[in-house]
Amino acid sequence: MINNERLWYLWLSSIEGIGAVKTERLMEAFKYGERIYRADEKELMEKGGISAKDAVSINNSSNKEYFKKHVIEVLRKCAYSEAEYICRTDDIYPEILKNIYDAPFGLFFKGRLPAPDRPSVAIVGARECSSYGRAAADYLARGLAVKGIQIISGMARGIDSVAHEAALNAGGDTFAVMGCGIDICYPAAEIELYERIRINGGIISEYPPGVRASAVSFPMRNRIISGLCDVVIVVEAREKSGSLITADLALEQGKEVMAVPGRITDRLSFGCNELIKNGAVPVTDISDVERVLESLITGKALVTREMTYSKNKANSVMRGEREAGGTVMSGKTEAGETVMSGKSEAGETVMSGKKDAIGTCITEKYITGEAEKNKSGEVDKNKFGLESYEKIVYDRLCLKPKHVEEISSEAGIRYQDTKSILMKLTLYGIADQVARDYYVRC
């Protein structure tokens, strides 16, 4: 049941030119929204300290027809789309958000809001990100989510979506702050992700149902992303990027900013490298973020806890299981087959020397690390006895993380066969999976 004060906040926020700052000034002067509704233009200007133009706008909106269209109708749409509306006087309004400049007086949300007793980290970055950026965002979001840290982002394509998805796949909580109405999925192609976030976290917006995204709304929503978190991590950003706006807002709000360093020749890393030069904390590992959080936070739990993947997968990162073809500790694939004990995707024994579906053999000495060493003390890959398919895939690996699809395309080998080969190269110890479906040469 929505209380009366929420109605007046919703009415005020719907008036053009009346934002959070002016609303706060008016509420301080009049105490109650209904008094603003009933005040004349002169009283609004003298007592509320607003301009004649704003006073006229408020006065023109103080009628039943306007109230019905912009308040009652909005609440009806909220009910239809299963969204809730809260204002700053509500107990569940995020306390951390109240402290920022221009904090929204009202919020619409689906699902739930971030838990106030747990730390939150915003992960933002480029829409047109690189495979390195995707791998970094996946690694950070997944690793933080497993430790019970809430992940906040803006659900834009690229780094934002990767961060949300990684957190969800790790069984964590993630929250998307939208630059459009709460009932609109933007971008539309991410409707499945939108629903997963709604179920396993929350969709948040200051815009009522039906409001379309605009060039102005995205920079505005960035202040909420940074406002809801304890730390902002920028993964990839060009010199002039929306992610840098979020970083600037975070600094203005007194939040810690971290950045993933990149190659000095990579334009997508120019923004991050510049942030680091200007004092942002470089992040290369989950422990970097933990240290910053521990120095900032009191009364919030930093707990490593077991989390599960989405309900239909029931695999656990903490137990070492991964999706489709990835084995870490327990040695279970998504299909439940054991690979650390020597089973291929096809279920055949490989440690004893039997071949898999594409005729590749693994011998026990390579898995146990007893392969021959070269003069520098490293495993000599040339003496690994790699068969043709394995060598082709291995030759496509480098120190920069590559996605399986990219490796498959370059090698001219089917996707599933490429995944099978990469798993074996990982078992040899000559390749490593640094994030889901991203591999590097060791």
Which pLDDT tens digits describe the chain residue by residue (442 residues)?
A: 345 778 888 888 888 888 777 888 888 889 888 888 889 888 899 888 888 988 898 988 888 888 888 888 889 999 998 999 998 888 999 999 988 888 888 999 999 999 999 999 999 999 889 989 999 999 999 999 999 999 999 999 999 999 999 999 999 999 999 999 999 999 999 999 999 999 999 999 999 898 898 877 888 899 999 999 999 999 999 887 788 889 999 999 999 999 999 988 889 899 999 999 999 999 999 999 999 999 887 667 655 433 332 333 333 322 233 333 333 333 333 333 333 333 333 333 333 333 333 333 333 333 333 334 444 444 444 444 567 888 899 999 987 888 888 898 889 898 878 988 887 888 777 888 877 788 888 7
Q: At what angle do helices 41-48 and 20-30 cross, to 10 degrees?
A: 90
* Residues 147 and 265 occupy one common structural domain: yes
Residue 112 forms part of a structural domain: no
* Residues 291 and 197 occupy one common structural domain: yes
Helix then strand then coil, in percent of the chain rounded to 5, is: 40, 15, 45
* CA atoms of 370 and 132, how far apart (whole Å): 32
* Residues 53 and 146 occupy one common structural domain: no
* CA atoms of 177 and 101, how far apart (whole Å): 17
Alpha helices in 211-358 (DSSP H): 217-228, 242-252, 270-277, 286-296
Q: Is 225 in contact with 247 (CB distance < 8 Å)?
A: no
Residues 316, 318, 323, 324, CA torsion sign: negative
* Residues 202 and 257 occupy one common structural domain: yes
* Residues 256 and 363 occupy one common structural domain: no
Q: At what angle do helices 286-296 and 131-146 cross, to 10 degrees?
A: 50
Residue 87 forms part of a structural domain: no
The string of DSSP codes covering 20-64 is HHHHHHHHHHHSSHHHHHH--HHHHHHHH---HHHHHHHHHT-SH
pLDDT at 344: 34
Residue 220 forms part of a structural domain: yes
Out of 80, 109, 134, a domain closes at: 80
Helix or strand (DSSP H, E) at 367: helix 364-367
pLDDT at 298: 65
The string of DSSP codes covering 91-109 is TTS-HHHHTSTT--SEEEE
How would you class 383 by CB atoms within 10 Å of its CB: exposed for 0-12, middle for 13-18, buried for 19 or more? exposed
* Residues 143 and 251 occupy one common structural domain: yes
Instruction: Tokens 């992960």: give the residue.
Output: 123
Instruction: Tokens 């040899």: give the residue.
Output: 428
* CA atoms of 287 and 416, how far apart (whole Å): 33
pLDDT at 420: 81
* Residues 43 and 151 occupy one common structural domain: no
Token readout for 203 is 């969709």
Task: State which residues form the domain around 396.
Answer: 352-441
User: Which is nearest to 424 in space by CA: 362, 365, 382?
Assistant: 362
Out of 265, 280, 296, a domain closes at: 296
Q: How far apart, in Å, do the first and last CA atoms of the chain sit?
A: 58
How many domains are contained in the chain?
Answer: 3
* Residues 261 and 192 occupy one common structural domain: yes
* Residues 279 and 374 occupy one common structural domain: no
* DSSP code for 349: B
How would you class 251 by CB atoms within 10 Å of its CB: exposed for 0-12, middle for 13-18, buried for 19 or more? middle
User: 10 Å Cβ neighbour count for 172?
Assistant: 25
The string of DSSP codes covering 165-200 is HHHHHTT--EEEE-SS-TT--SSGGGHHHHHHHHHH
pLDDT at 349: 31
* Residues 170 and 278 occupy one common structural domain: yes
Residue 49 forms part of a structural domain: yes
Residues paired with residue 106 on neighbouring β-strands, in sequence order = 87
Q: The domain that contains 147 carries what CATH number?
A: 3.40.50.450
What backbone phi and psi angles, to 5 degrees, belong to 107? -135, 140
* Residues 385 and 259 occupy one common structural domain: no
Instruction: Tokens 């990027």: give the residue.
Output: 241
Residue 224 forms part of a structural domain: yes
Q: Is 421 in contact with 389 (CB distance < 8 Å)?
A: yes
Q: The domain that contains 74 carries what CATH number?
A: 1.10.150
Residue 111 forms part of a structural domain: no
Residue 269 forms part of a structural domain: yes
Q: The domain that contains 379 carries what CATH number?
A: 1.10.10.10
* CA atoms of 125 and 323, how far apart (whole Å): 25
Q: Is 352 in contact with 368 (CB distance < 8 Å)?
A: no
* CA atoms of 232 and 225, how far apart (whole Å): 9
- pTM comes to 0.66
CA angle, 297 as apex, 296 and 301 as ends, to 5°?
Answer: 145
Out of 281, 296, 311, a domain closes at: 296
* Residues 192 and 141 occupy one common structural domain: yes
Buried b (16+ CB within 10 A) or exposed e, 265-276: ebebbbbbbebb
Residue 329 forms part of a structural domain: no
The β-bridge relationship of strands 361-363 and 120-124 is: unpaired
* DSSP code for 70: I
